[in-house]
Amino acid sequence: MDYGETTCEVFQADEKTKLLARIWLPEQGIKAVFIGIHGGMAHGGDWVTSAQYFNEKGVALYALDLRWHGAYPEYNDDGKNFFHINSYDDYARDVHGFYGWVKERHPGIPIFIISHSNGALISLYYGLSIGKNSDIKGYVLSSPWLENRVAVPMALRYLSKLIAAVSPTFSIAPEPVTDFLTHDKAITARHYEDEKIGIRGTRASAKLGVESEKTQAWVLKNMKQWTRFPLFCVIAGQDKLAVPATTERAMAGVPAGLAKVVTYDENYHENFNEVNRREIFDQVWEWMKAYIE
């Protein structure tokens, strides 16, 4: 399916892993670059709505299909499409390598990270770990997945740890939430089509459950160490996947002046695909300009 990319290339993440990079370039000169990190079960093509807006402002957008997502099975012999990761360190290394790859293409151009849901969890983990000494100008977050909205019973959590240890790629189909991601019916229809053609996942692994919970706890514990990079965080009031109050607490722990937080009470989870996304993008752009000009 076409997501309006200018071009696509293959990024060699490590010796064994190839990831599809989707690239949207503005027609005129490039003022800044976004690296997009998509959410769980999604793919890089979901950044098309953001790219369309920001390309008009002179901002390029580069987005990977993360491991086990999107076009991953097309480029990796062991590949299948489901929400899985062996460790969030794998995600962080992929982001770090991709950042260097993009930076080489645009020397001297300000680079920002824009991220959503699990992608926002990844970007925070990255910024607190191996990315803490990078020269990224700022991070834009949508609905950070810092706590699951649906509580998992303790017995099931314990069972998932046992399963993850024995069979890390064992997966289940969680309760469908596609109808509660955005109020934009056209994008909801696109999500369903993506599921049908197999580019959008519908299953999650036991290992993902264990690793995400561990990473969420680590990020929340360490947010007070977020002392360098400006943050712009968008919270969705009607989020069915991530707990808004947990994100609010996390952002409140960031040193004064670094985090700008806006909440849209009626939004579902995918702020950047919501019907009011242009209003959100306008705010992001005004925030970004202080770090570009």
Least confident of 30-34, 133-137, 168-172, 197-201: 168-172
Which pLDDT score, from 0 to 100, does residue 92 have? 98
Distance CA 281, CA 266 (A): 17
The pLDDT value recorded for residue 263 is 98
Q: Is the pLDDT at 167 greater than 80, yes or no? A: no
CB 178 within 8 Å of CB 191:
yes
Q: Is the dihedral of CA 162, 201, 93, 227 positive or negative?
A: negative
**Which domains are assigned to the chain?**
7-289 (3.40.50.1820)
Distance between CA atoms of residues 172 and 75, nearest Å: 24
Query: In this predicted model, what pLDDT tens digit does every residue of 5-54 receive, in sequence order?
Result: 999 999 999 999 999 999 999 998 999 999 999 999 999 999 999 999 99
The per-residue pLDDT for 154 is 44
* pLDDT score of 112 more than 50: yes
Task: Name all contacts of 87-90 with Cβ < 8 Å and 24+ positions apart.
Answer: 87/211, 88/121, 88/122, 88/125, 88/211, 88/212, 88/214, 88/215, 89/129
